[in-house]
Structure 1
């Protein structure tokens, strides 16, 4: 085992100072970083543990505004009674992540900051038109996710919370990899006074993306049948050992129809 310095941050400002150490990495749930370290894909000089910072935990609902602390676990997102009323689709999404061990350790902030192309939360953030709050600024979800494992975060920037306005209707459905539970295709659909937003994860060759074709179809009538005539182009979808681009194109449509049906249920 190579040497690494472990720090338990007492506050966000404390964590920001510790991040200035050479090759320091934030540690929250550790669901991605620890396996990467075990396989030598990552070798940080310092680990800055933010999992014990109470200010980064919890779900708050004020009117229609929902704020979730970055260190809130998937388990707590899934089980929060206030969120289940305000945005049941997001609570449902969290309940589908990994297995119980992953849900009890993994965090929403870690997932968003990592931006795995098959992760669930990025699709929710895009569809909900969420704001990603950091220790330095606020970033619209449309500008936050930049590509595979790439975000708008800069050096020393820490995700502290996500915030969004609860939609009138929302739904999320995914076709899961049976081993990892990651999305081979996942679709989050949200409807509010500003219109319809549809975000797709697990399928794009450049990560999470919005489907303008589906948004236009659902704007005419928010019903699963509205998607019958929509053709999902396979050109920008990925092909891997789990599914071809053409198969994923079909799955996007199927999962979108199920998500709309769930939103209307």
Structure 2
């Protein structure tokens, strides 16, 4: 062995040897990734040519692949094939190896380029990259959960708003119906007062000439108005009964009480 060779050998260290091994590993995985893309390309082509149900048998007999392995290789082709691994001066791409490429399948394709740029994965170990992808996935899940909770809350608020709007409308309808009943009750009280006044006037002028014909017509007119008013009150009470039972019962009892007062009035016995 020459002195020059001896100097080279003696100058080697375990650090240098490790660096060389790691470089060979990296280059091998780069070659393996390129090979995996090409195998995936051909698997995709073959699957398109096979009849339904022949795929698994063909994989086992022709290339000794399981379907899961074949699917993985075809996905690598889909994600990284068609020149996507190549770099150019105008659009430099990452120098991925096979292990990195497989791990990066856990990142959505549309987000992968930005993730690679943000993380500078070329300087990361396999374990560091796996941890970074895991943390990114957890962050994304937390964000998705937050967005889902926000959407659920929005739907709940919208549903509650709809219920409130419906109840507000029903309340407004009840108020209108109640006002009609109150108006009808007022008309009934007015008619009752008029009838009482007319009867009192009739009694005072019972000796007047033509009492029988004139007073009979007046009484008939008042009785007809009283009948109409009572019918109107009854109609309005029936309308609100399904939605406001309490108001219906209250004013129905008022009508009964008013009629009882009239019937018990001593002037009727004269």
Both proteins in one fold, TM over 0.5: no
Name the one with the larger helix percent: 2
**Which structure is larger by alpha-carbon Rg, 1 or 2?**
2
TM-score where L is the length of structure 1: 0.22
Name the one with the larger strand percent: 1
Higher relative contact order (CA 8 A, sep 6+): 1
TM-score where L is the length of structure 2: 0.22
